[in-house]
Amino acid sequence: MAGKNWKQYFDFSAIEKNRTNGLCKLCHRNYKDKSGVFSNFLKHLKRQHPFEYNQVFKSEHEYFTEDRDGIEDGHEPIDLTNLKEKENRIILSITKNLIIRCNLPLNLVEKPAFRDFMKECNLKYRPVSTKRLKHDVIPSLTSTVLTRIHEKLNTVDHVTLTVDIWSDRRCRSFIGITCHFIDQNINLQAYLIDFLRLKSLHTSENIQQMTDEVLERFNIKKKVFRIVTDNASSMIKAYKFGLSSDIENMEVDERNQFIIENDLMIENFEENFESDNLQMVNMSSSAFDENEDSPSVRLSCFAHTLQLCIRDGLKNVPYISKVLEKCQILGKCSNQSSKIADVLEE
């Protein structure tokens, strides 16, 4: 539209090397610029002929105003006071949907290609820095999400946990604790309530201690119904007898009363002790592993247990194990030789 308006004040003609010559009809001066670019002509018109310059942009403004008024799309004009709010929504969406859900690096927002893309989507987009995401946006988002989780967990009576430990390619260990429950609308809900770096040994004591600290922070320790884990020995031992012994959950007065009653019972036992009534018991018997009256709070993950059954079954079938060994050898060879990799791909 701008080029057409300027033609009433300039005579344009193409010259060599993709350049355009423009003769001003008002003062008969020649100006040159790249083909399709009108910045030099615009500067001349603005400086030497301000009245005509204002006429050009006045006509453009009237054109767009009339065009906008003529379209009935049912939307109200954009409120300039909401531009800041819209900008914050865009930044928050980038953080949630790209950085977190798509697992993309923080420095994505500083890449020129990404900024060009955002400019195409929204001309008024203002680039955000990695530092702002790291120190402002993500902590604020984390605080908001944790508050919502706390509020939700306060409304439920029972929860089930999933606890898992794994290591990444750099051999760094992590522990994840997920909380499951059924809400008031009979919908299954699941929240990852914590994801921690596990720098200590993977002992049952350390695992139980970390779990207790997380549950205390969310105030759901007494709401735990079951804990689902894999079949690692440390996991089995950590939750075999629950999260903590009953005496640890007692109040001070109850605990003192418990100790006094046990002392009296021991004194009474010593007074009436008869060695003839002793009976030998095998303490290694599996009968003491599980008590039907107080079942273990821990449950084995069904998928992990099934996978262990499949692994053991494959090991017990000789011809399958041989086939798998050959496949492993081929896989190693393909990683070491590009020719073998090309043959296998074909």
Q: Are residues 44 and 127 in the same domain?
A: no
DSSP assignment letter at 78:
P
- Looking at 110, 128, 147, the residue that finishes a domain is 147
Q: Based on the domain organization, do 47 and 96 belong to the same domain?
A: no
Q: Is 267 a member of any domain?
A: no
Question: Do the domain assignments include residue 73?
Answer: no
Q: Do 99 and 35 fall into the same domain?
A: no
Q: Is residue 31 part of a domain?
A: yes
What is the domain extent for residue 339? 302-345
Whether 127 and 167 share a structural domain = no
Burial tier of 212 (Cβ tally within 10 Å: 0-12, 13-18, 19+)? middle
- 130: in domain: yes
pLDDT, tens digit, 9 for 90 and up, residues 114-172: 999 998 888 888 888 899 898 889 998 888 899 999 999 999 999 999 999 988 888 89
Tell me: do 183 and 244 sit in the same domain.
yes
Domain presence at residue 75: no
Q: Are residues 247 and 320 in the same domain?
A: no
Q: How far is CA 311 from the centre of its chain?
A: 32
Give the per-residue pLDDT at 297.
85
247 part of a folded domain: yes
pLDDT tens per residue, range 285-331 = 444 444 444 457 888 888 888 988 888 888 888 888 888 888 888 88
- Residue 11 inside a domain? The answer is yes
Do 58 and 107 share a structural domain?
Answer: no
Q: For residues 248 and 161, state if they share a domain.
A: yes
Residue of 190, 212, 201 whose CA lies nearest to 165: 201
217 in a structural domain? yes
Q: Looking at the structure, tell me whether residues 58 and 101 fall in a common domain.
A: no
pLDDT of residue 283: 44
104 and 185 assigned to the same domain:
no
Q: Which of 66-80, 87-101, 255-269, 311-325 has the highest mean pLDDT?
A: 87-101
The model's pTM is 0.56
User: What does the block give as tokens for 98?
Assistant: 């790209």
Asked if 118 and 171 sit in the same domain, the reply is no
Domain total of the chain: 4
CA distance 153 to 222: 12
**Statement to judge: residues 173 and 194 lie in one domain:** yes
Q: What is the pLDDT of residues 217-260, one digit of tens each?
A: 999 989 999 999 988 888 888 887 666 544 444 455 555 555 55
Query: What is the phi-psi region of residue 127: left when phi exceeds 0, alpha when psi lies from -120 to 50, beta otherwise?
Result: beta
* Domain end residue (candidates: 207, 234, 261): 261
